[in-house]
Amino acid sequence: MFGSIATKVLTVAELTRAIRGTLETRFGAVWVQGEISNYKPHPSGHQYFTLKDSRAQIACVIYQLSVEIVQPRGLGLLQAKFEALKRKLEAEGLFDPARKKMLPKFPKRIGVVTSPSGAAIRDILNILRRRARGIEILINPVRVQGIGAAAEIASAINELSNPSTIWPPIDLIVITRGGGSIEDLWEFNEEIVARAIAAALVPIVSAVGHEIDFTIADFVADLRAATPSAAAELIVPAAVELDRRINELTVCLQRCWRNFLAREQTRLRLFSERTVGRELLTRIQEGKQALDWRRIPRARLFCAATNSPTSRAG
């Protein structure tokens, strides 16, 4: 090949132009059927996605103002599986609000099931450190995508939920990961994860993907957070807010205590005044009675003196 046979070396531009010419002359406008995944809109207006079937996939782009028709054709296989499992678990009552556990207002220990190297755990840790000092955080590291990740997630939930001799009881558990395509998030749509969440002994918060992403785990969990950061803000009150509330209650308590003291002092004064009045009246009555008793002997003496013979003789 590199001997005497002449070889034409193409530039990248020449090769891509030749491929484009071949495709346009051989195919022209074609209709392609497949499942859309990894959809990503671009600020320029272009839209990128992957079109795939069970044997192959191809990267696609829709350029702004160049699309004439986009025609959907049924649900993808993963979406169909998602809807089937959702209907099954909903019929069993796993989504029922009545079975959801209340989150503690002031958790002391929080378990987190996620990848130890992902952005989700960094976001959660940063917010928890800022909002609530002194909370203990126990990370149970797992893979969050790929074959076998669902079993790891379910096992991690069971480990944190059940009593352990290794760590103190956990107050609540957060299962989380960052955003992605339906394929990336699929492990959180597996039945084994849903069953582990439903069987957990402590409240579970699901924070999987972005605000527009929904997984089966979100429906079964006791609370769904739109993002990992939102989960951290929902599960603990802000330290600043707590300080403000404590100050408000302190002022209120001091005001109530002052009012109580003033009211009791008034009652004591009134009671004292009434007591003094009663004592004075009692003494007056006692003095009056004593005076009356002193007058009685003198009256009798006067009567006796009047009725004596000497008095009559005179």
Q: Which two tokens stand for residue 80?
A: 């169909």
Q: Do 249 and 231 reside in the same domain of the chain?
A: no
User: Is residue 173 within 8 Å of 157, Cβ to Cβ?
Assistant: yes
Q: Do 111 and 253 reside in the same domain of the chain?
A: no
For residues 113 and 151, what is the distance between their CA atoms, to the nearest angstrom? 12
Amino acid at the residue 246: I
For residues 244 and 86, what is the distance between their CA atoms, to the nearest angstrom? 43
Q: Is the pLDDT of residue 201 over 90?
A: yes
Of 237, 265, 291, the residue at which a domain comes to its end is: 237
Q: What was the pLDDT predicted at 313?
A: 46
* Owning domain of residue 289: 241-301
Residue 43 lies inside a defined structural domain of this protein:
no
Q: What was the pLDDT predicted at 239?
A: 59
Confidence grade of residue 95 (pLDDT, cut at 50, 70, 90): very high
Of 195, 214, 237, the residue at which a domain comes to its end is: 237
For 297-314, the pLDDT digits (tens) are 555 555 555 555 554 444
Strand partners, 138: 111
Q: Do 205 and 141 reside in the same domain of the chain?
A: yes
For residues 87 and 151, what is the distance between their CA atoms, to the nearest angstrom? 22
Q: What was the pLDDT predicted at 1?
A: 46
pTM of the model: 0.59
- DSSP assignment of 219-272, as one string? HHSSEE-SSHHHHHHHHS--HHHHHHHHHHHHHHHHHHHHHHHHHHHHHHHHHH
Q: Which of 200, 209, 227 is nearest to 127 (CA)?
A: 227
Q: In what order do the strands lie in the sheet with 109-114?
A: 136-141, 109-114, 172-177, 204-208, 223-224
Q: What was the pLDDT predicted at 29?
A: 73
Q: 236 or 221: whose pLDDT is higher? A: 221
Long-range contacts of 305-312 (CB under 8 A, 24+ apart): none
Q: Do 183 and 257 reside in the same domain of the chain?
A: no
**How many helices (H) and strands (E) in the chain?**
9, 8
Q: Is the pLDDT of residue 171 over 80?
A: yes
Q: What was the pLDDT predicted at 73?
A: 59
> In the chain, pLDDT over 70 holds for what percent of residues?
81
For residues 23 and 47, what is the distance between their CA atoms, to the nearest angstrom? 22
Q: What is the mean pLDDT of residues 176-186?
A: 90
C-alpha angle 122/195/121, rounded to 5°? 0
Q: Do 169 and 254 reside in the same domain of the chain?
A: no
Q: Is the pLDDT of residue 213 over 90?
A: no
Q: What was the pLDDT predicted at 145?
A: 93
For 26-74, the pLDDT digits (tens) are 777 778 888 888 888 888 778 899 988 888 888 888 876 555 566 555 5
Q: What was the pLDDT predicted at 150?
A: 97
- Range with lowest mean pLDDT among 94-108, 112-126, 205-219, 240-254: 240-254
Q: 101 or 251: whose pLDDT is higher? A: 101
Q: Count of domains in the chain?
A: 2
Residue given tokens 């671009």 in the structure block: 42
Cα dihedral sign for 50, 40, 86, 74? negative
Q: Do 287 and 199 reside in the same domain of the chain?
A: no
Query: If residue 62 lies in a helix (H) or strand (E), which one and from where to where?
Result: strand 57-62
Where residue 89 sits, what CATH number does that domain have?
3.40.50.261
* Number of residues in the chain: 314
Q: Which two tokens stand for residue 40?
A: 């990503």
Q: What was the pLDDT predicted at 312?
A: 47
Of 217, 237, 257, the residue at which a domain comes to its end is: 237
For 250-301, the pLDDT digits (tens) are 888 888 888 888 887 887 777 766 676 677 677 777 666 666 666 555 555 5
Q: Do 161 and 201 reside in the same domain of the chain?
A: yes
